[in-house]
Structure 1
Amino acid sequence: MSSQTSLATRLARPLVAAVALVWSVSTALVAWYVDTQIQHNFDTELVESAHRQLYPALLDAATPAPAHGVRILGEVPGSDYTEPLSLQLRDARGDLLLRSSAAPDHAFAAPLQEGFYDTRRHRIYTLHEPASGLWLQLADPLEERAQARWRTASGLIAVLLLMLPVLLWLIHWIARRELHSLRWLQAQIQQRSGDHLQPLALADLPRELHQVGQDVNQLLHRLHLALDVERALAANAAHELRTPLASVRLRLHTAIEQAEASGSGHIALAQIQPILQALHTLSHRTERLLQLSRAEAAAQQRTAVDLGQLCTTLAQEFWQQPQAQKRLDWEPPDAAVTVLGDIDTLAIALRNLIDNALTYSSGPVELAVQAQPPAIIVRDSGPGIAVADLPTVQQRHVRADAARLGYGLGLSIVGSIARQHGADFTLTSPVPGCSNGVQAMLVFPGGVSP
């Protein structure tokens, strides 16, 4: 069993911790606010009680004092104060004149000045009666207030402790429910394999997962293309190399038999040349296969490509070959024609077009660049291709006739590169205004400022 925790659990833990922290701070603030209100209510009740008890205490103080001790305050008719009162009435000198039965028989340790005063055990409110000069002091036990504060805090803490497990379960349940789409996406990815690379279904996914799904679909598309290239490379290699290899074997066997029959031990030059030509064809087709593999690669770096400079570079490269020195005609344009693309694969496409035109025609080959819309044009003066064969000659292994064997693979490479660049690749035969030849044209969707 894996020791890794689920994403729902990893989300629930910090969420519960954060909520518990916020709740604890909120509980503390609520407890502080409730305690403030409780203290305020106690003080208000203490003030009201002091005013209610002032005049009954003055009346009791006017009666003759007992022979020993201090007068005891009698019950006040209609009083709604149910708790035992700790009340004392003192004169201007601070002597105790009257007290309630619950009050101590000695004066409170509080100064004779109006307002509240706290002792170790009581909160005392002092009220002055100016006409008689007497002071009434009413005490409220602090223990009672502490009990009220504790009851409030314990209630809030109990609610917090009781709700935390519920909160943990609820957040974890919500996280698992909301992450169901992630598990569904994961299940779809697990089903994909080399034989099953269909795009993922992305309906009703959250925005973030939808973007992840789109990226996965792009990856699956690139894998699909890569696998297609791999399979096509094997098929193309088997198809294109079978005939040259068979020719090499046949020529070698023939040369060996003739040498053995003549007894000279030397192979005639006439037998060597076809072997060299067959090997040349083998190398040429192998190079085309490598170009095809590269042209159909998924990833390309798009940069600004000057079509005139690209054609100049390739023209200079072909001018180094004897067959192209006087046949390839190229005149750079007056202004730069720039498109967005991958310069390496565009060079492969253009090299194939020029090579086909030079190889399968004996006359001049014209290379040109068009400004609007941006395009590369290669024209040859060969026999051309039948109009009925033009729609199919770009397919792999499809050739118009034996005279143009190279169009079986080279044009499919050009077509793949054109599709990757969003360009249109068209073949026209005969060349417009002529009675023969083939015109190959790569038309790009738009240019960029040089």
Structure 2
Amino acid sequence: MPLSLVQRLSRALTSAVLAVWLLSTALVAWYVDSQIQENFDVELIESAHRQLYPALLEVQLAHPQQASIHEALSDMASTASEAGPQVMGELPGSGHAEALLLQLRNVTGQVLLRTQATPASPFAVPLRQGFYDTDDYRVFSLYDEQYQVWLQLADPLSERRETSQRIVLGLVAVLLVILPVLLWLVSMVARRELGAVEQLQQQITSRSGSNLQPLSVQGMPLELRAVGEGVNQLLGRLGEALNVERSLAANAAHELRTPLAEVRLRLQTAVDQALEQGASVPLHEVRMALQSLQTLSHRTERLLQLSRAEGGDSAHFAWVNLVQLAQEVAQEFWQQAQAQKRLDCITPDACCAVWVWGDIDGLAIVLRNLIENALRHTQGAVVLQVQPAPHAALVVRDSGAGLSAEEIQKIQQRHARMDRQHIGYGLGMSIVKTIADKHGAVLTFTSAPEGFACGLEVALAFIHATNGAKPQQAGP
């Protein structure tokens, strides 16, 4: 069964904390043990220095007939070789002599004096200053040059081990007591901090085609805020796509209704007249039906252009040569009889290319719409001109009657119509404006153009453009 994020995070954090705690406990235990051993050693050294002269005093008191400690030691050595080392009484300051493991040895290693709890045999360590360990004891050897004797004081290793074990058991006991509290605390913190994830999930779940409102990411952690902002961008793009789809359906219903009705009416009239006259379908009515079908085809093309313009993606942008684009579009129109003598294309020198960052297909749609409108609504000449950088622009100028400022504002609105002799189907300029906005270009209308008595000039000006060789870097 899959685990929740809270469970996975709780387990991971608890495992990590437990591992660190165990390592820390081991390090603390090692450090405390080393300190304990050091304290035992220091105490052993201090005890050895404190007990040396009381032990020598014990030697002299045990042999009062000898005039000096040297003589008493010699006498004790001869006695120890026969009867074994002498057992000393309670030393001054020892507190409990039975717990003190002390041997007083001469330079030959013979044990002269020992405490009650000390073995009679010498400690199995060399007669050298310092610490030495046996299987059962840690022994400190102290040499007195004046009397040429060795005092060896020993600590049982079992006592030290018991002390270290008590410390380790104490640390483990604390760990076992704290572990359940740690598990509960980590789980509670993880659940509380991951509450923002649940909130974000609930917001995403509540979104649908009818609810594409941006997610609220205020107060969320940076990572979740980045996820929320990414989802908001996706919702925005999805909203745009849905708007394009809805707009296309609405435009299709709006634009195709009248042509289709007209086709049906024309064909029905032709059939009725044929039945009444007992003759074939009148040629005029058939031509009108064909013209209506052509109108329908034209409007369908405009709807497709509009859909493409509104759904344009900047990922398809690249460097576009406006001179080459204008010449190719002009060549398309020169194939039509109505444009062969009326359309003129003016570009900079052939060697001077004008580069802009954009979608070549979208810009071609702009030029086709502008030239088609100019050719349809005027009977005079139409000029397509490319202006070089720094004021790079595509300009289409006609010699018609022109438009007023109010009419210029109106033709940029979708489905806005005036006199059919001057205004198309209400989509052409809307398509042009949409594509211009996608490119960050400025669309301007001038009626009449400077230096002309009449006419309309439409210019698509680009902010970022360059002349000459094709740029190698990515667009702005």
TM over 0.5: yes
In the TM superposition, residue 367 of structure 1 has moved relative to its aligned partner by 0.7
Please name the residue that 1:262 is paired with. 277
In 1, the alpha carbon distance for the partners of 2:97 and 2:193 equals 57
In 2, the alpha carbon distance for the partners of 1:444 and 1:198 equals 33
In the TM superposition, residue 411 of structure 1 has moved relative to its aligned partner by 0.8
Alignment check: 8 A CA contact 1:95 1:107 kept:
yes
In 2, the alpha carbon distance for the partners of 1:127 and 1:410 equals 111
Please name the residue that 2:152 is paired with. 137
Alignment check: 8 A CA contact 1:394 1:407 kept:
no
The question of 1:281 aligning with 2:279 is answered no
The question of 1:236 aligning with 2:251 is answered yes
CA 1:198–1:432 in structure 2 vs 1: closer, same or farther (change >3 Å)? farther
Q: RMSD between aligned alpha carbons?
A: 2.1
The question of 1:397 aligning with 2:415 is answered yes
In the TM superposition, residue 91 of structure 1 has moved relative to its aligned partner by 2.1
Please name the residue that 1:378 is paired with. 396
2:369 to 352, 367, 378: 352
The question of 1:408 aligning with 2:423 is answered no
In structure 2, list runs of 5 or more residues that go unmatched: 64-75, 471-476
- Deviation per CA, 1:351-396, whole angstroms, max 9, x where unpaired? 1111111222221111112233322111122333333222121111
In the TM superposition, residue 11 of structure 1 has moved relative to its aligned partner by 2.5
> 3-state DSSP class of the match of 1:170?
helix
> 3-state DSSP class of the match of 2:424?
helix
Please name the residue that 2:381 is paired with. 364
In 2, the alpha carbon distance for the partners of 1:345 and 1:314 equals 12
- Deviation per CA, 1:84-109, whole angstroms, max 9, x where unpaired? 10111122222221110111122222
In the TM superposition, residue 76 of structure 1 has moved relative to its aligned partner by 2.1
In the TM superposition, residue 298 of structure 1 has moved relative to its aligned partner by 5.0
Please name the residue that 1:213 is paired with. 228
In 2, the alpha carbon distance for the partners of 1:101 and 1:297 equals 103
In the TM superposition, residue 72 of structure 1 has moved relative to its aligned partner by 1.7
In 1, the alpha carbon distance for the partners of 2:418 and 2:97 equals 116
Please name the residue that 1:18 is paired with. 16
* Structure 1 consecutive aligned stretches of length 4 or more whose deviation exceeds 4 Å: 65-69, 80-83
In the TM superposition, residue 184 of structure 1 has moved relative to its aligned partner by 2.5
Alignment check: 8 A CA contact 1:61 1:71 kept:
no
> 3-state DSSP class of the match of 1:403?
coil
Please name the residue that 1:180 is paired with. 195
Percent of pairs with identical residues: 55
Letter in 2 for 1:326: K
In the TM superposition, residue 191 of structure 1 has moved relative to its aligned partner by 2.5
Letter in 2 for 1:96: V
Letter in 2 for 1:336: A
Please name the residue that 1:290 is paired with. 304
Name whichever of 224-233 and 288-297 sits farther off.
224-233
In the TM superposition, residue 116 of structure 1 has moved relative to its aligned partner by 1.6
CA 1:344–1:164 in structure 2 vs 1: closer, same or farther (change >3 Å)? farther
Please name the residue that 1:8 is paired with. 6
TM-score (norm 2): 0.88
Letter in 2 for 1:280: Q
In the TM superposition, residue 9 of structure 1 has moved relative to its aligned partner by 2.7
Alignment check: 8 A CA contact 2:99 2:117 kept:
yes
The question of 1:342 aligning with 2:356 is answered no
In 1, the alpha carbon distance for the partners of 2:450 and 2:9 equals 69
In the TM superposition, residue 129 of structure 1 has moved relative to its aligned partner by 1.9
In 2, the alpha carbon distance for the partners of 1:82 and 1:167 equals 49
CA 1:309–1:206 in structure 2 vs 1: closer, same or farther (change >3 Å)? farther
Alignment check: 8 A CA contact 2:55 2:91 kept:
no
Alignment check: 8 A CA contact 1:378 1:440 kept:
yes
Matches within 5 A, 1:410-425: 410-425=428-443
TM-score (norm 1): 0.93
The question of 1:106 aligning with 2:124 is answered no
